[in-house]
Amino acid sequence: MVLLEQVQQQYETLPYPPRDPDRELDLLRQPSLVEIPRVLEVLWNGRRTLNAEFQILDAGCGTGDNTIFMAEQLRGTGARITALDFSSASLEIARRRLEVRGLLDQVTFVQSPLEASPVLGIGPFDFIVTTGVLHHLDSPELGLAALRDVLKPDGGIGVMVYARYGREPVYQMQALLRHLAPRTMPETDRLRVLRHTLASLPKEHHALRGLMDTPIFRREIENSDAGAYDLLLHTQDRCYTVAEVYDWVEGAAMTMRGFTIPRRYEPATYLPGLQGGSARERHAVAELLHGAMIRHEFYAMRADASIPSMIASDEASAIPAWTSWGFGDKLAGALKTPGTQLRFTFGEEREVPVGGDAITRSLLGGIDGHRDVATIFERALALRDRPSARQVQRRWLEAADPLRAAAALAMHLPA
Ligand SMILES: C[S@@+](CC[C@H](N)C(=O)[O-])C[C@H]1O[C@@H](n2cnc3c(N)ncnc32)[C@H](O)[C@@H]1O
């Protein structure tokens, strides 16, 4: 069987990630790569309007995590999503999940290999997301080029591919299983051999320890056959260093626009004071300093796209929004607790301490994704102590700039 068919068959038998539409309302998964305020800021510096013209492609949508989160955020805007996958079983799960949430009318489904995107009559798209897919293609180069060709001239793409160093135990175990459970075996037998091998290896086995000590790998192995198979028995799986990501993106006539967690890719995060060098060099050094990255999530645009300038944090007409869905509600509770400092945690390497005085609290509490900076400042100027405009602006920059650097706060300009 040729590889493309073998990969397709895997995802027909074992749709990924495993999701139960009947439990859809238990939890809204929120992949950070598709946080819409962040996408608007990273790709277009906040100068893009969400309306019926705005078109998104989820290429290799699987069972629908990205599509569902984007559709929730885009409710009522008219923006549309095309969910494409070559696995009919995965598309059906995605369809049922969207139905449960009442989001079906925002989404069009296409069953096809993504390499055929340019001849399907779909797009062109403002934003394409493709997570956990391109590293499984026979030619990731052709896959990326096919997606680039259905982007609008200034469209952008969000990609997740595997990273090399943190996945070394995965590749060691895959090498062993290629001998013990070759891909000519039926899937159920391969899974049986996998489970038996993992249970039989000595606990100090280097790769086994690496897998079991990494929570995300452990969960994949322990929670489902689809996860274990995807991790350890995939017939087509490659990974990238930062340098390889840059080469791949630039080889497709595209430019990098940033990683989802910018700080993770800065050497100074690991060795304070280490600065300088090109973005590519800094990001490659940060990967080696981190030492255990298992994936790269990044945004890129066509190399010839014109990119508008960045919005200053104190631009009066700009509208700040939390990138994290529902964060404003959580913050409202935290702002009521007195203290000299507020600490925000947005996951790994995204902790941001800011001052906890009344002006900062008023400013942060004013962020709701609708109010502009001028209105947020007016609320703070009306505080009982009557702070000066200069004080308000200073407090705002002290809080907003680090929150933007951590990709926790995004700014956009209304149309
Ligand atoms: C690991 S899953 C990721 C699913 C989803 N993007 C996510 O992140 O949850 C990979 C998905 O890509 C799909 N896929 C793999 N190669 C493909 C191709 N060449 N064309 C279309 N879909 C593909 C598979 O069917 C599967 O649903």
In DSSP notation, 304-372 reads T---PPPPPTT-TT-EEEESSTTHHHHHHHHHTS--SEEEEE-STT-EEEEE-SHHHHHHHHT-SSSS-
Mutate to test the pocket of ligand 1, among 5, 7, 133 (most ligand atoms within 8 A of CB): 133
Biggest alpha carbon distance in the chain?
75
C-alpha span between 367 and 389 (Å, rounded): 18
Helices (H), 233-303: 242-251, 279-290
**Residue 55: inside a domain, yes or no?**
yes
Residue 337 confidence (pLDDT): 77
Residue 350 confidence (pLDDT): 66
Q: Same domain, yes or no, for 374 and 247?
A: no
Q: Same domain, yes or no, for 41 and 147?
A: yes
Q: Same domain, yes or no, for 28 and 113?
A: yes
Which residue, 269, 302, 335, sits at the end of a domain? 302
CA of 205 from ligand 1 middle (Å) equals 31
Q: What is the DSSP letter of 253?
A: T
**Residue 313: inside a domain, yes or no?**
no
Q: What is the DSSP letter of 382?
A: T
Please tell me the residue having the least CA distance from ligand 1 atom 10.
Answer: 133
Q: Same domain, yes or no, for 156 and 170?
A: no
Q: What is the DSSP letter of 391?
A: H
C-alpha span between 98 and 24 (Å, rounded): 9
Q: Same domain, yes or no, for 63 and 153?
A: yes
Q: Same domain, yes or no, for 404 and 278?
A: no
Ligand 1, CB cutoff 6 Å, lining residues: 7, 11, 16-17, 60-62, 65-66, 85-87, 90, 113-115, 131-133, 136-137, 230
271 close to 247: Cβ distance less than 8 angstroms = no
> Exposed, middle or buried by CB within 10 Å (0-12, 13-18, 19+), for 333?
exposed
Residue 35 confidence (pLDDT): 94
CA of 201 from ligand 1 middle (Å) equals 31
Residue matched to tokens 């964060």:
327
CA of 400 from ligand 1 middle (Å) equals 37
CA of 290 from ligand 1 middle (Å) equals 28
**Residue 311: inside a domain, yes or no?**
no
Give the pTM: 0.92
CA of 140 from ligand 1 middle (Å) equals 13
Q: Same domain, yes or no, for 43 and 104?
A: yes
**Residue 312: inside a domain, yes or no?**
no
CA of 272 from ligand 1 middle (Å) equals 38
Q: What is the CATH number of the domain that holds 124?
A: 3.40.50.150
Q: Same domain, yes or no, for 29 and 104?
A: yes
Please tell me the residue having the least CA distance from ligand 1 atom 15.
Answer: 133
CA of 61 from ligand 1 middle (Å) equals 6
**What backbone torsions phi and psi does residue 343 show, to the nearest 5 degrees?**
-115, 125
Which residue, 271, 302, 333, sits at the end of a domain? 302
Q: Same domain, yes or no, for 130 and 86?
A: yes
C-alpha span between 207 and 209 (Å, rounded): 5
DSSP assignment of 111-151: ES-GGGGGGTT---EEEEEEES-GGGSS-HHHHHHHHHTTE
Q: Same domain, yes or no, for 248 and 178?
A: no
Q: Same domain, yes or no, for 244 and 112?
A: yes
Mutate to test the pocket of ligand 1, among 14, 16, 131 (most ligand atoms within 8 A of CB): 16
Averaged over successive runs of 10 residues, the pLDDT of the chain (415 residues) comes to 74 89 94 94 92 97 98 96 97 98 97 97 97 96 97 97 97 96 94 96 94 95 94 93 98 95 90 89 96 96 90 96 84 78 70 83 93 97 93 95 88 86
Domain count, the chain: 3
Q: Same domain, yes or no, for 75 and 193?
A: no
**Residue 357: inside a domain, yes or no?**
yes
Residue 9 confidence (pLDDT): 85
Domain assignment of residue 225, given as a range: 166-232
Residue (of 350, 369, 411) closest to 42 by Cα position: 411
Which residue, 232, 256, 277, sits at the end of a domain? 232
Give the length of the chain.
Answer: 415
Give the nearest ligand 1 atom to 90 CA.
Answer: 27
